[in-house]
Amino acid sequence: MSHLLALTMAAPALAAVVLLAIPGTSRTALRVVSLIGAVISLAGSIWVATLYDRALGGLQLLDTVPLVPSLGIHLKLAVDGWGVALLLLTGVIIVTGVLASWSVAKRDKEFFLLLLVLVSGVYGVFISQDLFIFFLFYEIAVLPMYLLIGIWGSSHKVPSAGPFGFTWKRFEVGSREYAAMKLTLMLLVGSAAILVAMFLLWSNSGARTFDMQVLEATKFPIAVQHVVFPLVWLGFGTLAGVFPFHTWSPDGHASAPTAVSMLHAGVLMKLGAFGVLRIGMVLVPDAAAWWAPIVGAVAVVNVLYGALCAASQKDLKYIVAYSSVSHMGVVMLGIATMNAAGWNGAVYQMVAHGIMTGLFFALVGLVYERAHTRTIAKMGGFAHVMPVVAGFFTLACLSSLGLPGTAGFVAEFMVFAGAAKGASPWWAIPGVLGAFVTAVYVLRACKTIFWGPAPVDEFAHLQDVQRTEWAAPLVLGSLLVVFGFWPKLLLDFIDAASQGYLGRLPIVALAQAVTP
Amino acid sequence: MSPVTLAIVATVAPAVAALLLLVLSPLRHRGAPAAWVTLLGSLVSLGAAVMLLVARLGGAPDARATIPWIEERGRAMAEIGILIDGVSLPMLIIVCLVALCVQVFSIAYMHDEPPRAFGRYFTLHALFLFSMNVVVVSPNLLQLFAGWELVGLTSYLLIGFYFAKPAAAQAAVKAFWMTKLADMGFLFGLLVLYVSTGGFEWTSAPSATVATWVTGLLFLAVVGKSAQFPLHIWLPDAMEGPTPVSALLHAATMVAAGVFLVVRADPLFALAPGTREVMLWVGSITAVFAALLALVQHDIKKVLAFSTCSQLGYMVAALGAGQAFAGFFHLGTHAFFKALLFLAAGSVIHAVHSNSLDDMGGLRKKLPLTTAAFVIGSLSLAGVPGFAGFFSKDLVLTSLEGKASWIPWAMLLGAAFLTAFYMGRLLIKAFWGELSERSSHAHEGNVAMTGPLVVLAIPSLASGFLGGWLATQSSAQYELHLGLTPVLASVMSLAGLGAAILVFRKGGQAPFTHVLEKLDTFSVVDRTWAGAYRIGLLGVASLAGWIDRYLIDGLINFTGWSALEGGSSARRLQTGLVRDYALLVTVGVLVLVLIGVLR
Amino acid sequence: MNFDFGFAIVAAVIVVSALFVVRAANLIHAVLWLGVTLLGTAALYAQLNAPFLAGVQVLTYVGGVVTLMIFGVMVTRRHDGIDVVAQTEGADRGFIFASALFVVLALVTWKSAPHVPNPAPVASSADIARALLGEYLIGFEVLSLLLLAAIVGAVVLVRRRDPEPAGEPSPAAAAVSEVNP
Amino acid sequence: MTLMNCILLASALMAIGVYGLATRKQAVAMLLSVELMANSANILFASFAHFRGGPTGQVFVLFALAITVAEVAVGLALVMLLYRRHGDTALDLASEARQ
């Protein structure tokens, strides 16, 4: 199977093409085809994981097709350990996401079509080894979001206040169109920065190539690196929710429909962090080492500030969205440590947070679909009528606050250990504090929504999880626990990649020489 | 079977039970089968623990086995495994035994719960026993931390078992938050230890400064988990949980995990005299403070809860004095008699359907067996000579003798008096005196209820005599010697009881009740924490939320607004008249050409 | 440099008639003056050793385009019988910009001084044909497509649709007014 | 006759065309001005062809001629449409697209 990666990547897109041929009225067929596409990609990812030689590490399963040789653009697909972990995450999230959006009623054909195209883009980013293709897939993954939120999203009102209250005249802050537009524009500005960085790398690569392996082997002049790294950091960082460019995330995730929130917070935000790691840290390591303290300091702000913001929210989706901002801060913190523990933790946190937040959004979607409100103050005692939802929500909360036995703990622990061992040990302090604030807000939300006297009136007959809705809680919930108890499953892949790339870092070589 | 296998069986058996119940929801929803599965798990654990003990008595050495858990470059960054030695084995037996007793008791006590809730209750119990065993057998601090957090989780879920009650929900969350707040110390301690020694072993010997940091941070977690002043406020609230839960988690085992941690990490604490000094004082203050508050409680469970705080204070003080074994010994005896007391209290509550001491009275005649159990427990707790509590408490007090300051020693002696005094009050109010209206319908529960009382009464009476053996297991010295302290302690406990009889026989009140009640109901500590939470956390959070929405996002909106407004202004240039465009094109050409010319 | 009398006359004709094109008050006159300009240009082509171009210029431009323009003016006349007034506006502004443009262009031309004193060998019509059907074949074919598209497009644009009820805006106009309330 | 003179002539024609485009209101009149400008470009092509030699310049004039014809055809069609809708050919009326 020399084209396994291409197949995995293309399966959702092919399913989308098949969808085009299916009349929009045969709704079951639409869903089944989408599910098949998603399942094939998941199976492909799992197969990739089994084929990947963890002991060997590095890039494997290479698959090259030249596209524009004159500009040095090739469709070069290969996967490293990080890619394997993130492929698995993507596969799991898209399968559960399709199942969770079984009940989408409005323009369902287009919905699944866009969803599948988007996922193909995500897969592409994780496996492309050509910068140009990487960027292309990145855009494919980011842009459908505009339509997915703008058409299938939900709106609410945000009162005008503050020094910039006058801008409310121009925008309907809180509406889905606003959210979609803000998200797209902010991410596009980020993309512009990435594009500039990309061409800088291309023109300084000597060979005028986008091939990432060649770029890795190139030692860029330090001046170029110092321009490229901040562009990459902020460009990809916007998607990873780096403070202060995170504000698209709460509105976007709150407005997006369930599966889109799952995918976006669960997988797409990881594209940003993956970009910073794969391009920023690996391709321009010298500037990265110089910028790392700033990246880490901002990440620390993300962790604590995101958690505090989440603690102040009254809307359930906003809580989860801000918690994503906080948790992505942990990822960025891990990246900034520039040591094995930190990087392993960062990638592990990507997976852990992806699963956790996917579970969160799936459950929030369930609750919203039934209760028609997201304001937590209006809810109460839901555990009486939907105990399964309550149970899995609690599980997601626990992973969110980093309880041992869940994937969140392993990830956060490694990141904090990496931070403590790194150049700025104090980073661990706000990091851990952020985890505490997380405990406060998730458990408060959990208590308000699910505990208390049995609900009356319109909430008295809310249904618990039904049929396909079981998929997301069951799969994601059990994965959280499995990865919490048995980190080796993923960590071997991640570590193989981290060790390989860390060899490029000058400071690491130094540190290894010092410690026995 | 090898000791390692046995230890794994002892640890994992409840986990298997919990997993079965979690996955096979029909089993859980049926109720009774869940109880049997859980009991089976606990029984297997206990059996394995006993087999380990037998092997050890036969001369088996310590057993230690680890596997890598988090690997980095093929090298273990963190390990998990088991360690069976003179500390963990007795603890394992105590935990399994008490857990089994409590679970049996629960079958009767929770009988009226709907099957689903009943099943959930026992699932959580299985989960708890697994978590607690993880703590007990952990070979390093990281695994101990993992188990530590997991018992915190089960504590949270069990306190919130009656989640329909807002008070229970609040108490559960509060308990979790307070312990989580303290647990940050644990995590920081682990990180400091990891950075300075590269591992999580308590046997690693870092420098004195590092040791002080690590132990100080670990002690923070102990303060939270073992409900020491000023983080004790969650424990009384935790009594919202079912009474057997209070017996198991919030009296016998989970809260003692803090003490267990210090006992385990004794090599580290030995390097940090500063931390020990703090522990000595915190423990002593908690012992007295909680004993005073226990004096004025009207809820039978709250009396016992404050008493637990107070006794944990004893243990922490002993640890602070450097006598880890004294603390551990008291932990063991306390686990038995406090579990006994709580279960007996549960039996009383089951009989009178009230927690309030005012609804009780004269129960001696209606509940003879419960009364006997309660008396045994109380006397043991009070430290009356001959009972288990006497030996361990005496050891604690002796360990404080000859310290730099005599004040902690005196405080704990005073607390011993207070302990006897409030237990006397409890006994008299609940079991002696006039038969109250509610009491008149009381009757003993079935054998599932009384059986555990009997089983637990035996070690409450006699476990004090095992001190010598226990000491050899953890290579400490222990001998009962007749000195000033044992005599004084005996006198204190007897005086306390006597004073209680004098004061409360006629339905009197404790002296200074007024002041103490004020201290309790308007608990300064509680209100300080609530204020810190509201202002410090929620206030800052709202501020952050406002800033994010209206300043940071406002700036983003402002950027968009500027673009739109700028576009609107620029649109005036767009007259829609071709001739204007023609001119503009000309201007553009002119500018470009001029640039080209002038260059 | 000898004064080139022929060129001067042709250039004067072209410029003067062009000025009339943009200044004539009557639109018909303007079109006719354009014809003069184009004829002058044809003469210039002849002077430039491009007789084929001159011929084509006369045939297509003067014969085709100018006629078409006159038709256009006639068809779009508002009332029969009166002159078609060519409205103008902003003459000052236009003059300033136009003269600025001319000055700048002249300046640039003068500064770059493209002196090519000896005219190159003449390219015959055969050469042009060869180039057109050889080197520039693709452009030639594309151009034919463009012309076809222009014809089809023009026909489609001016085709009368089904008679609309008088007074009501066409659907397109209605759509426009919907978008812009 | 020098290349410079030709270029100057073309520039003058271009400037006049711009003037016409900027001052005329009617669409047909504007079209006329555009024709002038196209013509100026053609003159340039032809003169360069003359002074540089080779058929290329002339070929381009032919192409430009054809394109101009197409442009006139479509432009006049648009003028017709405009006239039908507004009864006038003043292009100002077509500026409604800007609200």
As a whole number of angstroms, the longest Cα–Cα distance in chain A is 71
Calculated CA dihedral for residues D37, D39, D42, D48, nearest 10 degrees:
-80
| B129 phi-psi bin (left φ>0, alpha ψ -120 to 50, beta other) | alpha
Q: Can you tell me the distance from the alpha carbon of A38 to that of A472, in angstroms, rounded to the nearest whole number? A: 14
Whether the pLDDT of residue B509 is over 80: the answer is no
Mean pLDDT computed over D70-88: 82
- Give backbone dihedrals phi and psi of A234, rounded to 5 degrees, phi first: -75, -35
Closest chain D residue by Cα to residue B580: D22
* Portion 95-134 of C in contact with B at CB < 8 A: 97-98, 100-101, 104-105, 107-108, 111
Residue B272's SS3 state is: coil
- Residues B576, D25: C-beta atoms closer than 8 Å: no
Q: Can you tell me the distance from the alpha carbon of B48 to that of B222, in angstroms, rounded to the nearest whole number? A: 29
Whether the pLDDT of residue B469 is over 50: the answer is yes
The whole-chain average pLDDT of chain C stands at: 79
Size of interface C-D (CB pairs under 8 A): 244
Closest chain B residue by Cα to residue C112: B597
Whether the pLDDT of residue C81 is over 70: the answer is no
Instruction: Please identify which residue in the block is written with the tokens 């490229």.
Output: A228
Q: Please give the pLDDT value at position A27.
A: 86
What confidence tens digit (pLDDT) does each residue in A116-156 have? Answer: 999 999 999 999 988 888 999 999 988 888 888 888 888 88
Chain B CB contacts of C89 under 8 Å are 579
Residue C90, chain B, CB below 8 Å: the answer is yes
**SS3 sequence, B414-469?**
HHHHHHHHHHHHHHHHHHCCCCCCCHHHCCCCCHHHHHHHHHHHHHHHHHHHHHHH
Chain C CB contacts of B593 under 8 Å are 104-105, 108
Residue A334's SS3 state is: helix
Q: Say whether the B–D interface has 3 or more Cβ pairs within 8 Å.
A: yes
Question: Which of B135, B163, B538 to mutate to probe the A interface, most A CBs <10 Å?
Answer: B163
C56: tokens are 């084509």
Is pTM beyond 0.90? Reply is no
Could you tell me where the DSSP H helices lie in C76-120?
A: 91-112
Measure in Å the smallest separation between the Cα of B182 and chain A Cα atoms: 10
Subunits with 3+ Cβ pairs within 8 Å of C are B, D
Q: Which of B276-290, C5-19, D51-65 has the lowest average pLDDT? A: D51-65
Residue D11, chain B, CB below 8 Å: the answer is no
Mean pLDDT computed over B232-247: 88
Query: What pairs with residue A211 in β-bridges?
Result: A130
Instruction: Please identify which residue in the block is written with the tokens 């609750």.
Output: A367
Chain B CB contacts of D24 under 8 Å are 579
Q: What is the CA radius of gyration of chain D?
A: 16
Q: Quick one: CATH architecture of C1-103?
A: Up-down Bundle (1.20)
Going by the DSSP 8-state scheme, the letter that residue C117 receives in this structure is -
Task: With beta carbons less than 8 A apart as the criterion, state whether A460 and A382 touch.
Answer: no
Task: With beta carbons less than 8 A apart as the criterion, state whether A187 and A249 touch.
Answer: no
Dihedral sign, Cα of residue C110, residue C114, residue C115, residue C120: negative
Residue B26, chain D, CB below 8 Å: the answer is no
Query: What pairs with residue B78 in β-bridges?
Result: B70
Whether the pLDDT of residue A193 is over 90: the answer is yes
Mean pLDDT computed over C144-151: 90
pLDDT confidence bin for B521, thresholds 50/70/90: low
Q: Can you tell me the distance from the alpha carbon of B495 to that of B544, in angstroms, rounded to the nearest whole number? A: 57
Q: Which of D44, D40, D33 is nearest to D13 (CA)?
A: D40
What confidence tens digit (pLDDT) does each residue in A407-459 have? Answer: 999 999 999 999 988 888 888 899 899 999 999 999 999 988 888 888 877 77
Measure in Å the smallest separation between the Cα of B581 and chain C Cα atoms: 12
Subunits with 3+ Cβ pairs within 8 Å of B are A, C, D
| Domain span holding position A473 | 4-514
Identity of residue B131: S
| Rounded alpha-carbon distances, angstroms, from residue D2 to C24, D6, D7, D28, D48 | 31, 6, 9, 34, 10
Closest chain B residue by Cα to residue C100: B590
Chain A CB contacts of B72 under 8 Å are 340-341, 344, 495
- Residues A441, B541: C-beta atoms closer than 8 Å: yes
Task: With beta carbons less than 8 A apart as the criterion, state whether B378 and B423 touch.
Answer: yes
What confidence tens digit (pLDDT) does each residue in B544-557 have? Answer: 888 888 888 888 88
Question: Which of B553, B555, B559, B568 to mutate to probe the A interface, most A CBs <10 Å?
Answer: B553
Please return the burial class of C82, using the count of CB atoms within 10 Å of its CB with bins 0-12, 13-18 and 19+: exposed
Mean pLDDT computed over B206-232: 88
D23: tokens are 């001052």
Mean pLDDT computed over D59-78: 88
Whether the pLDDT of residue C1 is over 60: the answer is no
Identity of residue A21: A
Estimate to the nearest angstrom the gap between the alpha carbon of B307 and the chain centroid: 14
Q: Please give the pLDDT value at position C178.
A: 39
Task: With beta carbons less than 8 A apart as the criterion, state whether A340 and A355 touch.
Answer: no
Q: What is the DSSP string of B185-244?
A: HHHHHHHHHHHHHSS--SS----HHHHHHHHHHHHHHHHHHTT-TTSTTHHHHGGGS-HH
- Residues C130, D9: C-beta atoms closer than 8 Å: no
pLDDT confidence bin for C80, thresholds 50/70/90: low
Measure in Å the smallest separation between the Cα of A324 and chain B Cα atoms: 15
Q: Which of C36, C22, C131 is nearest to C87 (CA)?
A: C22
- Residues D96, B586: C-beta atoms closer than 8 Å: no
Closest chain B residue by Cα to residue D34: B582
Cβ atoms within 10 Å, residue B404: 8
Q: Can you tell me the distance from the alpha carbon of B520 to that of B170, in angstroms, rounded to the nearest whole number? A: 18
Task: With beta carbons less than 8 A apart as the criterion, state whether B256 and B328 touch.
Answer: no
Cβ atoms within 10 Å, residue A24: 12
Please return the burial class of D83, using the count of CB atoms within 10 Å of its CB with bins 0-12, 13-18 and 19+: buried
Q: Can you tell me the distance from the alpha carbon of A51 to that of A60, in angstroms, rounded to the nearest whole number? A: 9
Calculated CA dihedral for residues C154, C157, C162, C168, nearest 10 degrees:
-150
Chain B CB contacts of D18 under 8 Å are 582-583, 586
Number of domains in chain A: 1
Measure in Å the smallest separation between the Cα of B564 and chain C Cα atoms: 18
* Structural domain boundaries in chain C: 1-103, 123-181
Partner-chain residue, chosen from D22, D94, D97, that has the shortest CB–CB distance to B579: D22
**ipTM of this predicted complex?**
0.75
Calculated CA dihedral for residues A464, A317, A356, A184, nearest 10 degrees:
130
Please name the residues in contact with C118: beta carbons below 8 A apart, sequence gap of 6 or more.
Answer: none
Please return the burial class of C4, using the count of CB atoms within 10 Å of its CB with bins 0-12, 13-18 and 19+: middle
pLDDT confidence bin for B127, thresholds 50/70/90: very high
| Rounded alpha-carbon distances, angstroms, from residue A186 to A154, A234, C104 | 20, 11, 43
pLDDT confidence bin for A25, thresholds 50/70/90: confident
The whole-chain average pLDDT of chain B stands at: 86
Mean pLDDT computed over B87-100: 90
Closest chain C residue by Cα to residue B582: C94
| Rounded alpha-carbon distances, angstroms, from residue C150 to B282, C161, D78, D94 | 95, 19, 12, 21
Residue B592, chain C, CB below 8 Å: the answer is no
Residue A426, chain B, CB below 8 Å: the answer is no
Q: Please give the pLDDT value at position B143.
A: 92
- Residues B579, D97: C-beta atoms closer than 8 Å: no
Closest chain D residue by Cα to residue C55: D62
Q: What is the DSSP string of B299-356?
A: BHHHHHHHHHHHHHHHHHHHHHTT-HHHHHHHHHHHHHHHHHHHHHHHHHHHHHS--B
Pick the CATH number of D3-98 from 3.40.50.720, 3.40.50.2300, 2.70.98.50, 1.10.287.3510: 1.10.287.3510
Identity of residue D29: A
Chain D CB contacts of B575 under 8 Å are 95, 98
Cβ atoms within 10 Å, residue D41: 17
- Residues C105, D31: C-beta atoms closer than 8 Å: no
pLDDT confidence bin for B395, thresholds 50/70/90: confident
* Structural domain boundaries in chain D: 3-98
Residue A158, chain B, CB below 8 Å: the answer is yes
Please name the residues in contact with A109: beta carbons below 8 A apart, sequence gap of 6 or more.
Answer: A19, A22, A24, A30
Q: Can you tell me the distance from the alpha carbon of D19 to that of B249, in angstroms, rounded to the nearest whole number? A: 94
User: What length does chain B have?
Assistant: 599
Q: In the structure, how many helices (H) and strands (E) does chain C have? A: 8, 0
Chain C CB contacts of D31 under 8 Å are 69, 72
Could you tell me where the DSSP H helices lie in A372-467?
A: 387-400, 407-421, 428-450
Going by the DSSP 8-state scheme, the letter that residue A103 receives in this structure is T
Measure in Å the smallest separation between the Cα of A447 and chain B Cα atoms: 7
Q: Can you tell me the distance from the alpha carbon of D84 to that of C76, in angstroms, rounded to the nearest whole number? A: 8
- Residues B579, C90: C-beta atoms closer than 8 Å: yes
Positions of E strands within chain C:
none
What percentage of chain C exceeds 90 in pLDDT?
A: 16
A169: tokens are 């005249």
Partner-chain residue, chosen from C30, C106, C119, that has the shortest CB–CB distance to D50: C119
Please name the residues in contact with A437: beta carbons below 8 A apart, sequence gap of 6 or more.
Answer: A304, A307, A308, A310, A311, A326, B537, B541
Which of A494-508, B333-347, B432-446, B524-538 has the highest mean predicted lDDT (pLDDT)? B333-347
Measure in Å the smallest separation between the Cα of B594 and chain C Cα atoms: 8
Q: Which of A340, A250, A251, A242 is nearest to A296 (CA)?
A: A242
Residue A516, chain B, CB below 8 Å: the answer is no
